[in-house]
């Protein structure tokens, strides 16, 4: 692995990239997962790499729904496990959400690597790792396999960085789906009941931070939060947020003063 | 490698991803290159995955500039070599542009793999592969190494999918830089003299297709095209293009009719 120059203007983003690359080296992340991470980087870029007000609203609705759920399950894939193993385990611990390892590129080697990665940071119970599997008939990909005591039994599923086909199939099975997806146009973002358009790492940290407030609320308050949440309206606001961000920049075209001072026009 | 289900709505995009994954397996593409490919996918998505009218304008200016150049050099990295080796070699053949392998994550193994990959499809001359190297003092990354008979000697450099630091350094050395970058906000897009905001694979195919028209033009016609091109204005138009695309969708929020018919609201 090559050293990141300290003067690189995107050093922080590069450091997270290296966490993902290390995840691949440890068999946790799939090659396609690295490409997916890049897509996320780009969508994060056009919201200014910050949690936006509409994202905060969807986070509150998501946590309320998880608190109201009888059997909530958190679907873990390679990227999420690599990015925030401690936070995933911590959130499961405080909220009681079940953890199921569920992979698009499912191999026994990756399942075992992710299992070890999560057990190492203190995970107590993990679904999706034994041969207790059932099939979701609607899907043709490998993720048709779900644990019969995990996702199959759940009423509410938290799916970060998920495949669109699968989100659709889960909805059609009658599940309530909460997605974390930086792309508000993705089929997952569209099919979910509650879509959090934000960076997974920021979201899981906010989940932990905000959980005590959620625990203080009454059932009727939580239900009111969920009923008042409109995913369609929220997605509209999220996309508007990117538009406003791009608008600010597009008025200038070239917005880096040093470039304008140095000049870009070709004199021939 | 897992089969792509035929009913997957993004099968074509998945197939290109697999070309990149194969590129990694063959030591051509770096892990960071896979993440960069993902960023490109996202930015391509918000221009509708098509070459836009402002991109066509920048392509014409770029080809005119290459034709006018005394010593144009095409800087090849792992991603470009993996994506379009035939097209790169074909364009070099018809335009006379020199090919230099120039990597951010430079290892001898990758240089050799890319060299073989390009020689296999008929590349005649490749720079950046021997020990004839010079340093660009402004840079702290490994890409300070450039070939003294390649980029160092060039007047015009074509840099697809380039690092921002390097584009800045090349400009400060007095080079004319043509960038191909799907992110109109990137430092490369901003520092280049001519920025083509489009998918590299589409661009290189258009380069080959449009070259005969460029060859028919007189020197004064070509100069006029370059003088009339304003990168600032072009970047502004490109960003506006994404804004219009997002605006169309944001008015709906949820834009997939099947989702609206099926319902997304939680009844509790």
pLDDT in tens, A76-120: 999 999 999 999 999 999 999 999 998 877 888 999 999 999 999
Q: How far apart are alpha carbons B147 and B133 in whole angstroms?
A: 5
Query: Is residue B1 over pLDDT 60?
Result: no
CB-closest option in A31, A185, A265 to B21: A31
Contact state of A268 with B142 under an 8 Å Cβ cutoff: no
Task: Give the one of A17, A31, A266 whose C-beta lies nearest to B226's C-beta.
Answer: A266
Instruction: Tell me which of B239, B257, B258 to substitute to probe the interface with A (most A C-beta atoms closer than 10 Å).
Output: B239
Q: Is B257 on the interface with A (CB under 8 A)?
A: no
- Min Cα distance A124 → chain B (Å) is 30
- Cα distances from A12 to residues A4, A265, B99, B261, in angstroms, run 10, 32, 32, 42
Whether residue B42 contacts residue A38, with contact meaning beta carbons closer than 8 Å, is answered with yes
Determine the Cα–Cα distance for residues B57 and A42; give it in Å rounded to an integer.
Answer: 24
The residue whose two tokens read 């004064």 is B220
How far apart are the C-alpha atoms of B36 and B64, rounded to whole Å?
A: 28
Q: Is the pLDDT of residue B148 over 80?
A: yes
Nearest-Cα distance to chain A for B124, in Å, is 31
From the list A50, A1, A39, A51, the residue with the least C-alpha distance to A23 is A1
What is each CA distance from A89 to A29, A155, B31, B235, in whole angstroms?
18, 20, 27, 44
Q: Do B191 and A68 touch (CB under 8 A)?
A: no
Report how far residue B64's alpha carbon sits from residue B158's, in angstroms, rounded to the nearest whole number: 12
Taking CB atoms and an 8 Å limit, are A176 and B9 in contact across chains? no
CA distances from B29 to A34, B76, B129, B199 (A): 12, 11, 16, 17
Chain B hits for A192, Cβ within 8 Å? 264
Q: In Å, how far is A20's CA from the nearest CA of chain B? A: 9
CB contact under 8 A, B191 and A236: no
Per DSSP, helices labelled H in chain B are 11-25, 31-45, 53-68, 78-83, 85-95, 108-120, 164-172, 187-191, 200-215, 219-228, 231-250, 257-262
- The reply to whether A132 touches chain B by the CB within 8 Å rule is no
Low-confidence ranges of chain A (pLDDT < 70): 1-10, 130-144
Domains, chain B, ordered by start:
53-238 (3.40.50.12640)
Among the ranges given (A155-159, B170-174, B222-226), the one the predictor scored with the smallest mean pLDDT: B170-174
Residue B164: the pLDDT is: 85
B1 in A contact zone (CB under 8 Å) = no
CA B149: distance to chain centroid? 23
pLDDT at B3 over 80: no
């Amino acid at each position: 692995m090559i050293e990141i120059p300290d003067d690189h203007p995107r050093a922080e983003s590069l450091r997270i990239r290296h966490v993902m690359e290390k995840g691949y080296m440890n068999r946790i992340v799939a090659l396609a997962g690295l490409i997916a991470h890049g897509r996320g980087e780009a969508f994060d870029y056009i919201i200014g790499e910050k949690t936006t007000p509409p994202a905060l609203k969807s986070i509150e609705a998501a946590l309320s729904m998880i608190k109201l759920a009888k059997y909530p399950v958190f679907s873990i894939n390679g990227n999420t496990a690599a990015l925030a193993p401690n936070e995933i385990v911590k959130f499961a611990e405080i909220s009681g959400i079940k953890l199921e390892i569920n992979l698009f590129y499912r191999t026994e080697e990756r399942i075992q690597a992710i299992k070890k990665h999560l057990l190492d940071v203190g995970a107590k119970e993990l679904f999706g790792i034994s041969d207790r599997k059932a099939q979701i008939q609607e899907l043709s990909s490998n993720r048709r396999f779900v644990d019969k005591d995990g996702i199959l039994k759940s009423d509410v599923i938290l799916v970060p960085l998920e495949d669109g086909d699968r989100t659709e199939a889960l909805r059609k099975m009658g599940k309530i789906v909460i997605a974390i997806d930086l792309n508000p146009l993705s089929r997952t973002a569209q099919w979910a009941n509650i879509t959090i358009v934000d960076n997974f790492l920021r979201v899981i940290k906010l989940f932990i931070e905000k959980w005590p407030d959620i625990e203080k609320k009454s059932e009727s308050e939580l239900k009111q939060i969920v009923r008042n949440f409109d995913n369609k309206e929220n997605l509209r606001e999220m996309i508007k947020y990117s538009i406003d961000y791009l608008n600010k920049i597009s008025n200038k075209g070239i917005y880096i003063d040093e470039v304008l001072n140095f000049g870009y026009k070709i004199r021939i």
